[in-house]
Amino acid sequence: MTNVLRTALWVLTVLCLGSTTAFAAGGNLAAGDYIGFTFFTGYMAMFAASVFFFFERGRVADKWKTSLLISGLITMIAAVHYFYMRGVWLETGTSPTQFRYIDWTLTVPLMCVEFYMLLRPAGATTGMMWRLIASSVLMLVAGYMGEAVQPQSNVMWGVISTIGWAGIIYEIFMGEGKKVAAASGNPVVQAAFKQLSMFALIGWAIYPIGYMLLPGNLLAGIAPPSNMDLIYNIGDAVNKIGFGLVVYAMAIKDTK
């Protein structure tokens, strides 16, 4: 299994390196292009994090191996999308909403699975996992509607999206997540669950702040809407790598 993962990783590396030329022709990274900087840093940080999680997977107890695999998949899926977004940004100075949401559609449900995997040994049900995933889908579909399909109604779609986010927060702070964690009797799992929950509450709050820069929304005019990308890039690096590191630290601790 480890060999399969390593091989997949090298194939990915070669593909990424081999195709850099596709985007290097027209654009250049200007000294003051801070949004561009974060596309590059985000790409490389997520790529490195994936290598780290895949390799470290071999060091943790069997019951946590899938959790580490998912941590690596989350950052790897993001790395590939950042690779594209970085290139399009270089060429055009813009970043299409599509890449962002294709990435989130895969990575956010996987983060929901990560909550489930953490609490599964303590008795979490797949019902909890599917409720989290359903809420995340509502959050993301509504967000996409407001950003890309009906931007004139972005406030309404933002509210609907927030209902999805609230569903996730409810499940982990008041619903099954909270109850199973409390009953688990494992302080290492409890501490990690608390940290992941704080990521979902505070770390994820970075995204609606970016969204509110859309014309007609609460923070419109404070900064150009292109700064959404800066905010989303910071949010992604913090949340995807941070989430993975919490799971990693938990697994190492619980293996000893």
Ligand X SMILES: *C/C=C(C)/C=C/C=C(C)/C=C/C1=C(C)CCCC1(C)C
Tell me the closest approach of the beta carbon of residue 4 to ligand X, in angstroms: 25
Identity of residue 27: G
For residue 108, state whether it binds ligand X (rule: CB under 6 A): yes
Contacts of 256 (CB under 8 A, 6+ apart): none
Taking CB under 6 A as the criterion, the residue among 42, 177, 208, 244 binding ligand X is 208
Taking CB under 6 A as the criterion, the residue among 114, 171, 176, 236 binding ligand X is 236
For residue 39, state whether it binds ligand X (rule: CB under 6 A): no
Tell me the closest approach of the beta carbon of residue 183 to ligand X, in angstroms: 27
Taking CB under 6 A as the criterion, the residue among 83, 165, 193, 248 binding ligand X is 165
Contacts of 36 (CB under 8 A, 6+ apart): 29, 30, 86, 89, 90
For residue 95, state whether it binds ligand X (rule: CB under 6 A): no
The count of residues interacting with ligand X (CB under 6 A) is 18
Q: Which is nearer to ligand X, 36 or 42 (CB)?
A: 42
H helical segments located in the chain: 2-18, 21-24, 34-56, 65-92, 97-119, 126-144, 154-173, 176-183, 187-198, 206-211, 227-236, 242-255
User: Closest CB to ligand X belongs to which residue?
Assistant: 143
**Stretches 88-96, 103-111, 185-193, 247-255: which one binds ligand X (CB under 6 A)?**
103-111
DSSP state of 1: -
SS3 136: helix
Residue in this structure with the two tokens 């601790």, named with its chain if needed = 253
Distance CA 18, CA 40 (A): 17
Positions touching ligand X (CB under 6 A) are 104, 107-108, 111, 139-140, 143, 158, 161-162, 165, 204, 207-208, 211, 236, 239-240
